[in-house]
Structure formats: structure tokens, C-alpha cells
Chains A and B, each alone.
Chain A
């Protein structure tokens, strides 16, 4: 009977993901809901009882430093590692099946670690994007491969670490490789067959809008990776995705101009991949501040008018609020210490301060190379109307050097030097989602590398480099519970139900922990 029930329920038509709030006990896509909010409507674990949270089970990966954000569908949890997926029994953590695909011996990850941030599910299939650029569809019940398509050439630096996003009947996947001089793209594949449906080049070629922001042949190696999962508005049928840095990273001499669509959010038609609008946070970036972020979508009244909004606390140190129908800039302000811009003008373009560009001798700028925040997820709570971000307070000495493009090697043109570690720290910050104004902060010892989840139990779950997984009061930032996981945490938390009871999951080091009351 139970087996039959599992078989019947383990189907995830798109409608279930669109209406994710109707089944808060599941976690059906990367950020749970298409709006990127990473907010759980579950309330059993709340401010009054979170102090009693205990480990219920753990699962051991074969590699350390896991970044997977699990998907939970009807008592099955899907987790991933580099080129691997496992389907776990949510009651015990024991695997129903495991799948892996060999990483080619000549594969090299250029500019990032060998990692994977999660899978997508749609109908009866699970989708994994591999380091060597395969998008693979697995049968959700057995883990057996249904189809696989090779989307890019890893020998040129293209690589997948992203969790794909299932929209409509398509699987969206983006590429890493911004330090290897790739020409980035975002792809959509037919979920049933694997046929490519569209490709959006993040660096426009001749004849395409935005190409005029590049000179000579720089666009051919212009970067613009797409390595963090985006968001989707089913009503507008728009896919929102963050675009990475231009290449070479720290030496912009060969690429004068704004270098669209690097360091931008783009809104693409879900059917065709055509660009609806773009907003560039950092024109002509020379600090590697790619917009590698999960966009957060919410609706609210702005200046007397009900708006569909998109928000982002950016790697460059500024918080932005845009209209997600048009891309219009509505407001922005810095949310960390930054020393490169005087502020934003009326269109949201940064007003640059002199002397912040990398040099041969080194230039000290806040924030650091890895930015004020980066790939790990922020969260938005519709209850508190706060945008939660794990913020990094750190500077770098930025260097500029020669950059020569050789296929499949670093094309960076410089780098950073770490400064006094006593001068760097971090914080979990709650920002007014409409203004970016800080409401509270919980200080961290070091700049974080892990994401957040808010819950309707009025909690924010967060992590530290020192191994702490902890819960804060979503209204005040007061710590209410903590657990030492034994490893620096570099992942995003989720929440789901096991037999009707709320649980929380986080990957830390080699281990996936699941907590319950």
C-alpha cells in the first residue's frame, strides 16, 4: 500500500511547483518556490520550541564541502554531489538509489571547486547538471538514466555546478567558467526529450542588442557565466537569472565599455529565451563582482502603486529593488562597507569613486573579491517583509596583470591578496525589503559562505564557517538555537515534513543533517 502510494504521488507536474504553497511539507525546487524566497510556510518549529531541535538522522557523502540544496517530494529527498545524485528515505536517510557519472580524468574546474548545488524535478524525472557539462535526466523512482545531452565543452572551461530549474516543460541550466574566458549562455532543454529549446548568449554577438558595449573581439571571450539558479514568474512567463563577471576579471583594458550583460539580472521569455529586459549592477566590472545570486520576487506597494518586484543584495555591496515587469530601478543603497562607489544615480548606475580599479601594485577596496555576498541564498519572509542576507565584511587588495587567452586556462588578469584577518567579519542582516535599510544584524566571526532560510515559525536558519548551524528570531535576530556540525558550512538549508512533522536539513562537510523536534 505504501509502495503504491509513493509511486502514485511521486509525480511532479509543473502545477505542483507553481502552487508550492499548497504543499509546504515538500520542497519541490531549488528555492522551494519559483519566487526565489527560500521561505518555508511550515510553523511547527517556531520561536517557542526551536531550542528543542535535535538531530534525527545524518547521511554521509563521499566528498567534503557539499553545497547541495535538497529537493523533497513525497517522502523522498533528492540530493546531489559533483556528477552524483542520491534519493533518500526522508524517515531514515537510507538511500533508495544512488547514481553517478564518472568525471573525465582530464576535467579541470577553473576558478571554483568541484561541487554541485542540487537537482531539479519535473513530472517523473530528476535532472542533474554535471561538471563535464552534461544535463542528465533520471527516472525519479529508480535513478536510471532517461536521457543525457552535452551542453558545453569542459575543455574550454564550461562546467555545471548549478541546480537546474524546471519551468513549464523545460529544464533551464546555466554554466560556470567566468575565469576561463568563456562566452556564457543560459540554455533551455525539453524536459521529456532533452532537445535544446533555446539558448540565450549572455555576451551578445554581432547584430545582437548590447553588442555595442564590447570592442573588437573581446565578446568572444567575454565571460558572463550563469552559475546560480534563477527565479521564474509563471504569470509573466519570465525567467530571471543573474549573469557573471566579464572576462578577463581584473584587467578591463581589452574590453572597454559596459560589457553587457555581465554583472546583470536578465528577464527572459520562458518560451523563447528572448531578452525582455536587463539591469546591470556593475558596468565594466573589474572586481569579479558577478551577479551570481538567486533573485527574490515579491509584490508590494511602492510609492502608492502595487508593483511586481525583484530584489537583490548584490556582490558589489548594494541592495537593489527593481520592477520585475520592466526592469525599472526603484531604489538601492549599500548594505555593507564599500569603498568603490559614491552611491547609485537615479537609474541605479553606480557613481564611481576614483582609485578603486586594480593596479599592478594593488588597490585596497571593500568589498572583497568574493563580494558582500555571493552564490548562497538570501531569504525573504512575507510575514516580516524583511530580506535576509548573509553579508561579508571584508576588503581585498586587487591586482591587475597581463591576461592572455589560452583555451581552457585561467583568463583572469589579476587577483586579490587577503588583508588583516582581524579586519574581516560577517553578519546575518535583515533588510527592509523595500528600502534595503538594516533592521537588525547578528554578527559572525568570519565572512560567511552559506545561505539562509526563513520560516513561518518566525525563524531564520543560518550557518557559520566555524560549523555552527543556528536559528534566529526573524523579527529581532536573537539567537534561539544552535548546533555544532563539525565542519565549515557551505550550503543552503531547507525545511519539509516527515510523516506530518516539520524537519530542517543542512549539508555540512561530508554530512547531511536532518533536525526535528
Chain B
């Protein structure tokens, strides 16, 4: 008869738990690649269907909602996974939710002090947090669940390096702005003052800049201020309202 010491027993249980979690994740991944990847891309980045690399999916904000959505499908495009068992549904939903989530991290810096840096640096002249500010740049109300601290740091120090897909600065005649919409014959912009413009491409000279952010690189923050600012941004998890 084999006797386990309590510590060994605990260790075995922990290992079993970890193995179970890994197995679960592997099963979820295998199911995803067999049944979902055709439309959502092998790594969830999108294809015929939308990208799933988001911390919170609009149509399924939590595990239960996502399991239901996967089971039911979305008419007319997405088939329901009617052949998956409840366990498999859980596995694939957990895997999908893991795709866009940011691993927990401890961020150095003081968020309260960072809020003051944000105020003093006039970040609100381009960004909106919880309804306050100007909407020329991306909204930051829930930036803390969308981006990790490394991404936030880079977006402050080297904003040109992490532009969203399709982002473009446009010079249409005398007007400069960011591209809001474009079709074959017309283009719509927002200038730095927030004014909206529309141009016919046939009658306007259009110059495009693809790899430039309108946000200046803020390279002169003292290290502590930068840490504090990042801590503040990382603390923004969405509006309570």
C-alpha cells in the first residue's frame, strides 16, 4: 500500500488540477480549430467571421452568454454548435475567452498620482474617459481591460509603432485629419479640432500617411510619472454608468 505524505498529496492534487486545466484548454483549442477557425481564423484573429481577440465580446460578455451563443449560433451567418456536449461548450467558450484576455499583471506606479499626470498633460484634449474630454483620439474609459502595461507604455513613448489596422492620416486639399470612412469615390475625415469633413476623391487631391500617429511621442516624462500614468490607465476598467 502506498502512503502519501500530506505535502505530496497536495502537490499531486495541484498537479492534477493544473493538468486538468491544461487538458481543458487543449480540448477547447482543438474544438475551436476544428469547428470555429474556419471563419474566425486559426488563432481567433478573424477571417470570414469577426476577430475574437477582445477582452469582452459584445454579443457575449460572460462565460454563460458565450456558451449559449456558441450553442445557438447567430443567424444568418454563424451555425450553432448543436453537436457539442455541455462540457465541450464550456471548454471552447473558455478557450475563446482566453484569446483576448490580458493576463493579470502587477503594474508599478500610483494610479491616483497618474490621474494627476493625465490632467496636467492635457491628455483629455484628445481622449475621452467616462464621458469627459475630446474624442479626436481613442476613448480610454476601459483601456485597462483592453491593453496591458507594455502596450500602454509603447503607445505613450512610440505611438507610431502601434497604430490600429487601417489607421490613416489624410490631407484632402488643405484639410488634415484622420480617416473616419472611405468608399471608392468619397472620403470622410475628422480634423484636429473635431470638425467632420467629406470630400469627393475625384475632385480633391488626397495624400495619405499610414504609419504616423497624430499623437506626439511623450518621451520626456520622468520614469516615476510614466509609471504612475500607466498605472492610472491600467486602472480604467470601464464606466460604472
Give the Cβ gap from A441 to chain B, nearest Cβ, in Å. Answer: 13
> Chain A, 279-322, contact with B by CB distance < 8 Å: what is the 0/1 string?
00000000000000000000000000000000000000000000
Give the Cβ gap from B78 to chain A, nearest Cβ, in Å. Answer: 9
Q: Is B42 a contact partner of A397 (Cβ separation < 8 A)?
A: yes
A291 to B165 alpha-carbon distance, docked (Å): 32
Chain B residues contacting A65 (CB-CB under 8 Å) are: 76-77
> Given known contacts A414-B37, A415-B37, is B42 in contact with A468 (CB within 8 Å)?
no
Chain A residues contacting B166 (CB-CB under 8 Å) are: 421-422
- The listed residue (B38, B76, B182) touching A115 by CB distance below 8 A is B76
Chain B residues contacting A444 (CB-CB under 8 Å) are: 184
List the 10 closest A-B pairs by CB distance, nearest first: A114-B76, A466-B183, A415-B37, A108-B79, A399-B42, A417-B41, A113-B77, A468-B184, A401-B33, A415-B38
Q: Does B82 contact A (CB under 8 A)?
A: yes
> Given known contacts A108-B73, A418-B46, A479-B185, is B83 in contact with A406 (CB within 8 Å)?
yes
Q: Is A466 a contact partner of B37 (Cβ separation < 8 A)?
A: no
Q: Is B183 a contact partner of A404 (Cβ separation < 8 A)?
A: no
| A interface with B by C-beta (< 8 Å) | 63-65, 82, 106, 108-111, 113-115, 179, 249, 362, 369-370, 396-397, 399, 401-404, 406, 408-410, 412, 414-418, 420-422, 444-445, 464, 466-468, 470, 479, 482, 484
Q: Is B75 a contact partner of A114 (Cβ separation < 8 A)?
A: yes
| B interface with A by C-beta (< 8 Å) | 30, 33-35, 37-39, 41-43, 45-48, 73, 75-77, 79-80, 82-83, 165-166, 182-186, 210
A416 to B36 alpha-carbon distance, docked (Å): 11
26 contacts between A and B (CB under 8 A): A63-B76, A82-B76, A109-B76, A110-B79, A113-B76, A113-B77, A115-B76, A249-B38, A369-B47, A370-B48, A396-B47, A399-B33, A401-B33, A401-B42, A404-B34, A406-B83, A412-B37, A412-B38, A414-B37, A414-B42, A415-B38, A416-B41, A420-B165, A445-B183, A445-B184, A484-B185
A179 to B73 alpha-carbon distance, docked (Å): 17
Measured CB to CB, the nearest residue on chain B to A109 is B79
- The listed residue (B73, B82, B182) touching A445 by CB distance below 8 A is B182
Measured CB to CB, the nearest residue on chain B to A407 is B83
Measured CB to CB, the nearest residue on chain A to B183 is A466
Give the Cβ gap from B142 to chain A, nearest Cβ, in Å. Answer: 24
A-B pair count, CB < 8 Å, reads: 101
A399 to B46 alpha-carbon distance, docked (Å): 14
The residue among B38, B75, B185 with the most chain A CB atoms within 10 A of its own CB is B38
Chain B residues contacting A111 (CB-CB under 8 Å) are: 38
- What is the interface of chain A mostly: helix, strand, loop, or mixed? loop
A396 to B184 alpha-carbon distance, docked (Å): 24
The residue among A406, A417, A468 with the most chain B CB atoms within 10 A of its own CB is A417
Chain A residues contacting B33 (CB-CB under 8 Å) are: 399, 401-402, 414-415
A70 to B97 alpha-carbon distance, docked (Å): 42
Known contacts A113-B76, A249-B38, A409-B83; 10 additional CB pairs below 8 A are A109-B76, A370-B48, A399-B33, A401-B33, A404-B34, A409-B35, A410-B34, A410-B38, A466-B184, A467-B183
Chain B residues contacting A109 (CB-CB under 8 Å) are: 76, 79
Measured CB to CB, the nearest residue on chain B to A370 is B48
Chain B residues contacting A399 (CB-CB under 8 Å) are: 33, 37, 42
Measured CB to CB, the nearest residue on chain B to A111 is B38
The residue among B41, B76, B82 with the most chain A CB atoms within 10 A of its own CB is B76
A403 to B166 alpha-carbon distance, docked (Å): 35
A472 to B43 alpha-carbon distance, docked (Å): 39
Measured CB to CB, the nearest residue on chain A to B42 is A399
Give the Cβ gap from A72 to chain B, nearest Cβ, in Å. Answer: 26
Chain A residues contacting B48 (CB-CB under 8 Å) are: 370
Q: Is B76 a contact partner of A482 (Cβ separation < 8 A)?
A: no
- The listed residue (B47, B75, B77, B183) touching A468 by CB distance below 8 A is B183
Give the Cβ gap from B59 to chain A, nearest Cβ, in Å. Answer: 16
Q: Is A417 a contact partner of B47 (Cβ separation < 8 A)?
A: yes
Measured CB to CB, the nearest residue on chain A to B37 is A415
Chain B residues contacting A362 (CB-CB under 8 Å) are: 42
A46 to B17 alpha-carbon distance, docked (Å): 72
Q: Is A415 a contact partner of B35 (Cβ separation < 8 A)?
A: no
Give the Cβ gap from B182 to chain A, nearest Cβ, in Å. Answer: 7
Q: Is B165 a contact partner of A415 (Cβ separation < 8 A)?
A: no
A463 to B47 alpha-carbon distance, docked (Å): 21
Give the Cβ gap from B188 to chain A, nearest Cβ, in Å. Answer: 11
Chain B residues contacting A370 (CB-CB under 8 Å) are: 48
- The listed residue (B47, B79, B186) touching A415 by CB distance below 8 A is B47
Q: Is A106 a contact partner of B43 (Cβ separation < 8 A)?
A: no
Give the Cβ gap from B19 to chain A, nearest Cβ, in Å. Answer: 21
Chain A residues contacting B184 (CB-CB under 8 Å) are: 444-445, 464, 466, 468, 470, 479, 482
A417 to B48 alpha-carbon distance, docked (Å): 10
Chain B residues contacting A410 (CB-CB under 8 Å) are: 34-35, 38
Chain A residues contacting B42 (CB-CB under 8 Å) are: 362, 397, 399, 401, 414-417
Measured CB to CB, the nearest residue on chain A to B35 is A410
> Given known contacts A401-B33, A468-B183, is B75 in contact with A416 (CB within 8 Å)?
no
Q: Is B183 a contact partner of A402 (Cβ separation < 8 A)?
A: no
Q: Is B38 a contact partner of A114 (Cβ separation < 8 A)?
A: no
Give the Cβ gap from A395 to chain B, nearest Cβ, in Å. Answer: 12
A410 to B32 alpha-carbon distance, docked (Å): 11
Measured CB to CB, the nearest residue on chain B to A358 is B42
Give the Cβ gap from B166 to chain A, nearest Cβ, in Å. Answer: 6
The residue among B30, B48, B186 with the most chain A CB atoms within 10 A of its own CB is B48
The residue among A63, A65, A416, A420 with the most chain B CB atoms within 10 A of its own CB is A416
Measured CB to CB, the nearest residue on chain A to B34 is A410
Chain A residues contacting B43 (CB-CB under 8 Å) are: 417
Measured CB to CB, the nearest residue on chain A to B40 is A415
Measured CB to CB, the nearest residue on chain A to B77 is A113
Give the Cβ gap from B28 to chain A, nearest Cβ, in Å. Answer: 14
A412 to B73 alpha-carbon distance, docked (Å): 18
A115 to B185 alpha-carbon distance, docked (Å): 29
Chain A residues contacting B30 (CB-CB under 8 Å) are: 401-402
Chain A residues contacting B46 (CB-CB under 8 Å) are: 418
Give the Cβ gap from B231 to chain A, nearest Cβ, in Å. Answer: 32
Chain B residues contacting A466 (CB-CB under 8 Å) are: 182-184
Give the Cβ gap from B37 to chain A, nearest Cβ, in Å. Answer: 4
Chain A residues contacting B47 (CB-CB under 8 Å) are: 369, 396, 415-418
Q: Is B77 a contact partner of A418 (Cβ separation < 8 A)?
A: no
Give the Cβ gap from A465 to chain B, nearest Cβ, in Å. Answer: 9
Q: Is B45 a contact partner of A482 (Cβ separation < 8 A)?
A: no
Give the Cβ gap from A37 to chain B, nearest Cβ, in Å. Answer: 25
Q: Is A422 a contact partner of B210 (Cβ separation < 8 A)?
A: yes
